[in-house]
Structure 1
Amino acid sequence: MGLLRLGFAVGSYLLFFASFLYLVGFTGNLFDEAVGLTGIAGLAALPSIDAGPAAPLGVAIIINLALIALFGIQHSVMARPGFKSWLTRFWPASIERSLYVLATVAVLVMIYVFWRPITPMVWSVDADWLRMLLWGLFFAGWAILFIATCLLNHFELFGLHQAWAGFRGTAVPETQFRTPLFYKLVRHPIYTGILLAFWATPDMSQGHLLFAIGMTVYVVIGVRYEERDLIAHLGEQYVEYRKKVGAVIPGIGKAR
């Protein structure tokens, strides 16, 4: 049974990593660009934020907002301590996080499949230097996100640490409060990376703008609930940390 649970955790992680890489291509409309690099013409047919099945404007807005809401609800609800306590009554605690990861994969796949592009442009940058700058910020956002997961404990965040401990029959060590690198500048560098990646684009369509705004709303709500849980778990240490460090932008969002 322990080996089966470990396999579930590893499989969930690998699926998430694949869906994460796809998200980079999806939000950046990179599949057309990849055709020129790889010669694989079929890449151009992959859905992205501005390429896929069309729908009337009103229908597209409703579908896309529903997908964004589904992502936010899944992330917010499944991350709450109360939900975790309920879930682990009948689901092994060692792979509770892995189930969260797998559910995230399912929601991301739904976004990729059902997203309806709204292609009229809000802005499209012509200057080469500015396009390169925006592409640099786009990839920097994804890099910040990934590095931020590694600065704490990447494998614990994605459930592998817990599953390995369960397989070995050992307890997962209590999480210690640390503020390495990015965490000295902002409390939530993962969200910083997400916002940078979603907003930095040289070609912002109306559909992309809807996606960026929706995800920004999710981040604002997510920070509020996550900080409540962190204060409950870490106490005065985190209260003082909030007074010194901004939320997702350095210097902005310090607690009073």
Structure 2
Amino acid sequence: MVLSIIILVFCLVAFAAIHSFMASLPFKRFIMRTLGSRAEILYMPVFSLIAVLTILPLVYLLYKNPGPVLYIIPSPWRWLMVGGQLLAAIVAPRAMLDAPHRFKIHSQLSAPDTPEAGPLNIRGIYLWVRDPFLLTGLVIIWLTPFMTVNLLVIYLLTTIYLYLGSMHWETRLVAQFGDKYREYQKRVHRIIPKLRGYR
């Protein structure tokens, strides 16, 4: 069992390293220099495809060797959990639609209060929570209605990776939007949705 956990952790670390490298600003600068304006069109589809391909070995290994079962949630509670996962899976893509300017490479590489950076423009789900990807990611993994030893290890490490990634992402948003984003951070929580929304 220890060997299987080590292999799973290695697969997760390899995915995280590749994912983090491709999401880094130095890599995006290289892509912009190499591809020019085509980088904006090609980056997200290629990034997403590589993310899927690099996570598949981990998913396969977990499927083949989940480890000892820790618990299985009975009905009807399991269906409520699955419903929460589906809701989170629907909300996650919405976060990209509500702030498309945050994901443009030339905007991420620009300074605050420049035309390239664009306005902060808080709308949609960002009125309620600062990092909807972190929130939905945690909901999807921790509402899994069963748990095994291997799955628990991967979920714990994934939670740490998601949170550290969120901190890094917000550092970049501060660099992009400056004091406007710092003010937004004071008024809206990173994970816990704000009941009345951002005003």
Pair in the same fold by TM > 0.5: yes
RMSD of the TM alignment (CA)? 2.6
Tell me which residue corresponds to 2:124.
Answer: 181
Counterpart of 1:102 (choices 45, 49, 57) is: 49
Which stretches in structure 2 are left out of the alignment for 5+ residues? Answer: 106-115, 195-199
Q: Structure 2 matches for 1:43-82, cutoff 5 A?
A: 57-82=1-26
SS at match of 2:126: helix
Judge conservation of contact 1:60–1:118 (CA < 8 Å) in 2.
no
Judge conservation of contact 2:69–2:148 (CA < 8 Å) in 1.
yes
Which of 1 and 2 has higher RCO (CA within 8 Å, sep 6+)?
2
Aligned residues: 181
- Alpha-carbon deviation of 1:229? 0.8
SS at match of 2:147: strand
1:145 paired with 2:88, answer: no
Over alpha carbons, which structure has the higher Rg?
Answer: 1
Counterpart Cα distance in 1 of 2:93 and 2:138: 13
Judge conservation of contact 1:145–1:193 (CA < 8 Å) in 2.
yes
Task: Spell out, residue by residue over 1:146-195, the C-alpha distance to the aligned partner (whole angstroms, 9 max, x if none).
Answer: 222222239x9599xxxxxxxxxxxxx75431222221121110121111
Name the amino acid aligned to 2:18.
Answer: Q
Counterpart Cα distance in 2 of 1:158 and 1:114: 34
Task: Spell out, residue by residue over 1:79-110, the C-alpha distance to the aligned partner (whole angstroms, 9 max, x if none).
Answer: 22222113433344523624423321331233
**Same amino acid, percent of matched pairs:** 24
Counterpart Cα distance in 2 of 1:97 and 1:205: 35
Name the amino acid aligned to 2:129.
Answer: V
Tell me which residue corresponds to 1:236.
Answer: 179
Name the amino acid aligned to 1:181.
Answer: G
- Alpha-carbon deviation of 1:114? 4.4
Which stretches in structure 1 are left out of the alignment for 5+ residues? Answer: 1-56, 160-172, 252-256
Tell me which residue corresponds to 1:124.
Answer: 72
Counterpart Cα distance in 2 of 1:158 and 1:239: 20
C-alpha distance 196-110 of structure 1, shift in aligned 2 (>3 A): same
Name the amino acid aligned to 1:243.
Answer: K
Counterpart Cα distance in 1 of 2:87 and 2:95: 12
Q: Could you state the TM-score of these two structures normalised by the residue count of structure 1?
A: 0.62
Counterpart Cα distance in 2 of 1:79 and 1:247: 20
